Amino acid sequence: MATDIRPRDPVLPPTMVPLATLIGRELRGGKSEKPAIRYGHAAFAKRGEDYFLVRPDCLRVPGDASSSFSVFAIFDGHNGVSAAVFAKEHLLDHVMSAIPQGIGREEWLETLPRALVSGETSGTTATLVVVDGWTVTVASVGDSRCILDSQDGVVSLLTVDHRLEENVEERERVTASGGEVGRLNLCGGKEIGPLRCWPGGLCLSRSIGDTDVGEFIVPIPHVKQVKLSSAGGRLIIASDGIWDALSSELAAKACRGLPAELSAKLVVKEALRTSGLKDDTTCLVVDIIPTDHTHLPLSPRKQQNKFKSLLFGKKSQNFSGKPNKLSSVGSVEELFEEGSAMLEERLGKIHLKENSGHLRCAICQMDQAPNNDLSVASVDGFCPASNPWEGPYLCADCWRKKDAMEGKRPRESTMSR
């Protein structure tokens, strides 16, 4: 139904901007009024494995309209639709169940990036976007993409591509974890197609599910949180059927200055015109605008707007696990970014959530009755006493997954093609 975006610009040096400072600025400046949200979507199916989620009127506190936030997501399934359907129906509930009840908005926004690491299902990419006021939080696994077209004429990338062909750091993580990366090998030794992870042959390093392709394909998302200025901006969230045909700049240009509903249709139309229908093409356009506007005004163009990643230069490929510094770029403040697959770094020493005497796994959110052999630091004997686990409780299955992600498990099979 619609889409709208803008071009990317040069990288500015990072500036520390704590979330509490930004919220304080809003209150002191009288800009605490939430923006209006306008959205549109469009899709064209080839395999029928793309699904999207639109929840514009969620409430952080039931019955309190001032606690509203919006959720938009795209799920691009593979090897069937079951994982995409499951993620659409349950992923948001998993995320919300990992956030403590009764906390204020500032704490909610600070907790959200960690909560987005929780929740696991069974082959789909996922890009989940939460809009709360002027703050946008994006979690992604796979090769769907979310870009931001801010009102200063800059198109910014809010996600990281987890295709093995594109991401050197992810290739290194997979091989360090005991997997193998290579192309499909035909008779005679000729290699064809994109790089894939073996066993299994998936060309992505991260996705939700895919339990049949080994433990090297992980569901731990890249998470980024930014704060827009009161001028607002536009998000374009789309599956790889769009991005294989269009660059971020071209997608933005195709719909700039138009209502969200029409914009999404134009982005899909331009992708089909460029490369034909080779894959499912799904696009969501979300305008975050001042309440006195009906749609985003067309911002004045800068000369030679270049695509600029809010992952700031080489940080767009940073999976070292080290937290990135908060940054300021034009009218967009960067609050949080993390892409590590190391669970202890992602989840930290978060609270142990108890539910009627049960322990809840921080990843799969399943409850398990405690016993004498089970503790936060030791799960079925997997955690050595010499190196105790300082993260949250994990069930035995998720603990095994954690070790595989971190390269602590010996290779169990060789590459078979």
Q: How confident is the model at residue 27 (pLDDT cuts 50, 70, 90)?
A: very low
**What are the beta bridge partners of residue 54?**
72
How far out from the chain centre does Cα 63 lie?
Answer: 28
Among the listed residues 415, 416, 16, the one whose alpha carbon sits nearest the alpha carbon of residue 179: 415
In a domain, 206, yes or no: no
pLDDT confidence of residue 414? 36
Most confident of 138-142, 295-299, 304-308: 138-142
Rounded to an integer, what is the distance from CA 245 to the centroid of its chain? 21
The percent of residues in the chain predicted with pLDDT above 90, rounded, is 30
Answer yes or no: is pLDDT of 104 > 80. Answer: yes
Which range, of 233-247, 346-360, 402-416, averages the lowest pLDDT?
Answer: 402-416
Q: Which of 397, 374, 398, 378 is nearest to 387 (CA)?
A: 378
How many whole angstroms separate alpha carbon 279 and alpha carbon 276?
9
In sequence order, the β-bridge partners of residue 326 are: none
Is the residue at 59 inside a domain? yes
The pLDDT, as a whole number, for residue 320 is 34
| Nearest alpha carbon to residue 252 among 285, 288, 279 | 285
Please give the share of the chain, as a percent, with pLDDT higher than 70: 65
Run of H or E including 286: strand 281-289
Q: Is residue 285 part of a domain?
A: yes
pLDDT in tens, 243-293: 999 999 999 999 999 999 999 999 999 999 998 888 899 999 999 998 877
- Reduce the DSSP state of residue 235 to 3 states and report it: strand
Task: Using the predicted structure, report yes or no on whether residue 209 has a pLDDT greater than 90.
Answer: no
Provide the pLDDT confidence category of residue 211 given band limits of 50, 70 and 90: low
Using pLDDT thresholds of 50, 70 and 90, give the confidence band for residue 6.
very low
Sheet holding 332-338, edge to edge: 50-59, 68-77, 124-132, 135-141, 222-228, 332-338, 327-329
Q: Assign 203 a pLDDT band (cuts: 50, 70, 90).
A: confident
More confident residue, 28 or 289: 289
Backbone phi, psi, residue 302, to 5°: -90, 155
Q: Does residue 376 fall inside a structural domain?
A: no
**Bigger pLDDT: 341 or 315?**
341
Query: Does residue 328 register a pLDDT over 50?
Result: no
Give Cβ neighbours of residue 66 (< 8 Å, ≥ 6 apart): none
Asked if residues 233 and 226 have their Cβ atoms less than 8 Å apart, the reply is: no
Contact 280, 49 (CB under 8 A): yes
Q: Determine, yes or no, domain membership for 279.
A: yes
Helix (H, G, I), strand (E, B) or coil at 84: helix
When mean pLDDT is compared across 5-9, 176-180, 182-186, the lowest value belongs to: 5-9
CA atoms within 13 A of residue 64's CA, in its CB half-sphere: 9
Note whether residue 147 is domain-resident.
yes
Is residue 384 a part of any domain in this protein? no
* Better-scored residue on pLDDT, 5 or 26: 26
**Assigned domain for 373 exists:** no
300-318 pLDDT, tens digit each: 444 434 444 444 333 333 3
Q: Which domain holds residue 281?
A: 33-159+220-291+332-340
Residue 391 has pLDDT above 80, yes or no: no
Contact predicate 377/388, CB 8 Å = yes
Q: Which pLDDT does position 14 carry in this prediction?
A: 40
- Identity of the amino acid at 226: V
59-68, 207-216, 268-277: least confident range: 207-216
Using the predicted structure, report yes or no on whether residue 90 has a pLDDT greater than 60.
yes
CATH number of domain containing 54: 3.60.40.10
**Domain count for the chain:** 1
pLDDT value at residue 238 = 96
Whether the pLDDT of residue 192 is over 70: the answer is yes
Who wins on pLDDT, 355 or 360? 360
Structure tokens that stand for 138 in this block: 């994006």
Tokens of residue 43, six digits: 């899709």
Residues 6+ away with beta carbon under 8 Å from 63: none
Mean per-residue pLDDT, 38-43: 96
Specify the range with the lowest mean pLDDT, choosing from 202-211, 224-233, 350-359.
Answer: 350-359
Give the model's pLDDT for residue 324: 33
What pLDDT does residue 343 have?
Answer: 66
CA distance 83 to 78: 8
Question: DSSP letter at 139?
Answer: E
Note whether 317 and 167 are within 8 A (CB): yes
Tokens 């200055």, located at residue? 257
pLDDT at position 150, please? 85
